[in-house]
Amino acid sequence: MRSRYPIVRHRELRPFFRYDALRQRRRPLAAGRDETLVYRIGAQCTAGDVDAVTARRATAVSVVDLRPNVIVAVGRDVAAAGHVLDFPVTVTFACTVVDPVAVVHARHTEAVGDMEHFLAQDLVSLPDGVHPPGEGEELRRAVTAWLRPRAAEYWIPGVDVVFAGVDVGPAYMQEA
Tell me: the pLDDT tens digits for 114-140?
Answer: 888 888 888 888 888 888 888 889 999
Q: Residue 22: what pLDDT?
A: 57
Radius of gyration of the chain (CA): 21
Q: Residue 1: what pLDDT?
A: 32
Q: Give pTM, 2 decimals.
A: 0.83
Could you give the maximum distance between any two Cα atoms of the chain, in Å? 67
Among the residue ranges 1-15, 55-69, 136-150, the one predicted with the least confidence is 1-15
**Omega within 30 of 0 (cis) for the link into 6:** yes
CA-based torsion, 135, 131, 176, 125: positive or negative: positive
- The percent of residues above 90 in pLDDT, for the chain, comes to 32
